Amino acid sequence: MGKTLAEKIIDAHIIEGQAEKGTEIALRIDQTLTQDATGTMAYLEFEAMGIPRVKTERSVAYIDHNTLQSGFENADDHRYIGSVAKKHGIYFSRPGNGICHQVHLERFGIPGKTLIGSDSHTPTCGGIGMLAIGAGGLDVAVAMGGGAYYITYPEIVNINLTGKLNDWVAAKDVILEVLRILTVKGGVGKIIEYTGEGVKTLSVPERATITNMGAELGATTSIFPSDEITLEFMKAQGREKDWSPLSADSDAVYDKVIEINLSNLTPMAACPHSPDNVKKLDEIGKIKIDQVCIGSCTNSSLLDMLKVAHILDGKTVHPDVSLSIAPGSKQVLNMISKNGALAKMIDAGARILESACGPCIGMGQSPNSGGISLRTFNRNFEGRSGTKDGQIYLVSPEIAAYSAIKGYLADPREIGEMPEFALPDKFEINDNMVTLPECECNADKVNILRGPNIKSYPVTAPLKETILCKCSLKVGDNITTDHIMPAGAKILPLRSNIPEISKHCFTVCDPDFPSRAKKLEESIIVGGNNYGQGSSREHAALAPLYLGVKAVITKSFARIHKANLINAGILPLTFVDELDYDKISEGDILSIENTVEQIKAGDILEVKNIDGKYSFNVKLEVSDRQKAILFEGGLLDYTKKSLG
């Protein structure tokens, strides 16, 4: 039986476990990436492991998220990360060089290699046939130290593409269609693999838009084959030596096949407040808009910028609209500045932002009250823009630029025939904003520069024999990590200070939660389906850990967040009978007795609701390794112990 592409890369990197779907396997990791909002914590964890030099083929530390320096905190973090990188053998992409995923695709990604990154959109590099997976910071720290990365051997879903996109229909519309079909939880435990004749019609940046936003499906990753088009891209980046051809065997067997005919797609938008709330433009109508933001790791490539500049050429942004554009990398910004595309944007009235995440993570450009904002980003969770009642629609750059001129949500097909937008034979290559690490022989001379806002990892303790505490919070379905640990310009500078950032934990749902949980000292959170979807931020587990949360009981978990809870030593439990969710109220006293024995004996644990005077069963679906991590009180303690 032939193999899928994902299976081939997994099998070439598997170092523990069997190629058996649903079981835990360990992967050798070739490359890692971090960004600054998760990076400080990841490097504190790396330092705590006491390993002098990273053991990967390439590790890169990016500064792209916390670039707004409205106090000393972010600048201190940048300096800290830069010094750790220098000392420990990590490439350092300085602020201004661009968004981690865009730059990694351009300069570092290699087909067939494995990459884990402390950011959920790491699968972007699946666009060049890399097995690229988002993970918690601690998992990335372990991988930098030479440790394996553990995943559940995923099901492989094939999306077979046929046909060709019509003029002004974009890669964004492809992934929105996939989200419409599979929903934000349809990818959990799965790898999405793209094949078919339609693949040949998509350039690398278009493929990368699709794999990037595969994160919104909850998928482990998404991947395209590495073919002639990949070779052209790698050549133009001066990296053809890193290219190799990779594809699935013709008789590969997939767990599920979805057919999408690119020729049938039309422009779409994900409506507030979920990336899977997808509708065709004509279903939504010509709604009046207040703001347009173009950029983010999903849609900030040179190709995207060229299309935007073409649409804006000779026009003026509508008087009622604010248009901001953040090109994804220094390479993109430099090229559009030289070829005149940037001048067209400036002429039209666009507000040009630095090459960074910016508005995507609420770092500025929050819309006006109740404002309607079209964004080429990947997430439109409530409040993420920084304006609680902001109405965010996720769209292609083509829709965004055309609507910015019109003043309402407009269909770019009205423009008429689309010219051909080709990628250059040679990208502008200048890696001067990537600082190389100090050679190993001089590493001990490099001082680590710590700012006063950088606090250590929260205190952990081995799993308690009896957990007896109140339910401090009950929430519903699809709780995102933006609910659990909000981001935005005010809170992000606290990423390296868990005691302070914890004061914002779950405040989107309940402003009193942090003080209540702290007062209780120990507590349990109850949630619905797909709890923890969205980002990889381990702060969504570390803040609850700091606030004394011992277990989270839900109907189901998102993949990265579940791993982060385990890494933090918090029990991720699921209801055996979902009806028990309805019976629990906030404030109920719950007890789990003989935890260690119960966990050693199997997957089912008994929980007593002391107030309700009844018992119910929950499931702990983890591997034996993860049980051992939970017994130790988290991955850091477990790793320190196993390193002796």
Candidate residues 296, 355, 366, 536; the one interacting with ligand SF4 per rule CB under 6 A:
296
Sign of the CA dihedral running 536, 487, 385, 508: positive
Q: Give the count of alpha carbons within 13 A of 493, CB side only.
A: 16
38 binds, among ligand MIC, ligand SF4, none (CB under 5 to 8 A by kind): ligand MIC
Q: How far is the CB of 315 from ligand SF4 (least distance, A)?
A: 26
For 418, phi then psi, to 5°, come to -100, 130
Q: How far is the CB of 535 from ligand MIC (least distance, A)?
A: 3
537 binds, among ligand MIC, ligand SF4, none (CB under 5 to 8 A by kind): ligand MIC
Name 117's bridge partners. 33, 134
Could you give the CA distance from residue 114 to residue 234 in angstroms, rounded to a whole number?
Answer: 17
Q: Any idea what DSSP says for residue 138? A: H
Distance of CA 638 to the CA centre of its chain: 25
From 13, 58, 65, 384, active-site residue:
65
Could you tell me the CA-to-CA distances from 461 to 568, 598, 633, 634, 639 in Å, in that order?
Answer: 10, 19, 5, 8, 14
Candidate residues 297, 332, 333, 399; the one interacting with ligand SF4 per rule CB under 6 A:
297
Residue with tokens 């109508």: 285
Which residue, 176 or 348, is less far from ligand MIC as judged by CB? 176
Question: What x/- string results for residues 341 through 380 when contact with ligand SF4 is judged by CB under 6 A?
Answer: ----------------x--xx---------------xx--
Alpha-carbon torsion angle 555, 559, 562, 568, nearest 10: -170
Which stretches within 355-422 are classed as H helix?
A: 397-406
Which residue, 58 or 483, is less far from ligand MIC as judged by CB? 483
Which residue, 357 or 618, is less far from ligand SF4 as judged by CB? 357
Cβ neighbours, 10 Å, residue 207:
27
- Structural tokens at position 281: 């433009």
Residue 65 is a catalytic residue: yes
Cβ neighbours, 10 Å, residue 587:
13
Question: What x/- string results for residues 37 through 76 when contact with ligand MIC is judged by CB under 6 A?
Answer: xx--------------------------x-----------
For the chain, the C-alpha Rg in angstroms (whole number) is 24
> Residue 536's closest CA among 497, 503, 554, 562?
562
For 609, phi then psi, to 5°, come to -95, 100
172 binds, among ligand SF4, ligand MIC, none (CB under 5 to 8 A by kind): none
Could you give the CA distance from residue 126 to residue 107 in angstroms, rounded to a whole number?
Answer: 14
592 is a site residue for ligand SF4 (CB under 6 A): no
Question: What x/- string results for residues 525 through 554 when contact with ligand MIC is judged by CB under 6 A?
Answer: ---------xxxx-----------------
Alpha-carbon torsion angle 541, 365, 60, 543, nearest 10: -10
Residue 495 is a catalytic residue: no
Q: How far is the CB of 64 from ligand MIC (least distance, A)?
A: 9
From 36, 119, 290, 304, active-site residue:
119
From 535, 539, 556, 559, active-site residue:
535
State which of positions 264-283 bind ligand MIC (CB under 6 A): none
119 is a site residue for ligand SF4 (CB under 6 A): yes
Neighbouring residues of 510: CB distance < 8 A, sequence distance ≥ 6: 473, 516
Q: Any idea what DSSP says for residue 530? A: T
563 is a site residue for ligand MIC (CB under 6 A): no
User: Contact, 326 vs 354, CB < 8 A?
Assistant: yes
User: If residue 467 lies in a helix (H) or strand (E), which one and from where to where?
Assistant: strand 467-474
From 207, 516, 537, 539, active-site residue:
537
State which of positions 83-122 bind ligand MIC (CB under 6 A): 119-121
State which of positions 33-72 bind ligand SF4 (CB under 6 A): 65
Which residue, 381 or 581, is less far from ligand MIC as judged by CB? 381
- Structural tokens at position 126: 């699946």
Residue 379 is a catalytic residue: yes
Q: How far is the CB of 288 from ligand MIC (least distance, A)?
A: 28
Candidate residues 61, 99, 517, 570; the one interacting with ligand SF4 per rule CB under 6 A:
99
- Structural tokens at position 227: 């073919």
Question: What x/- string results for residues 469 through 488 when contact with ligand MIC is judged by CB under 6 A?
Answer: ------------------x-
Residue 591 is a catalytic residue: no
Q: Would you call the peptide bond into 273 cis, given omega within 30 degrees of 0 as the criterion? A: yes
Active site residues: 64-65, 119, 379, 535, 537
Q: Which residues bind ligand SF4 (CB under 6 A)?
A: 65, 99, 119, 121, 296-297, 357, 360-361, 377-378
Give residues in contact with ligand MIC (CB under 6 A): 37-38, 65, 119-121, 134, 361, 487, 534-537
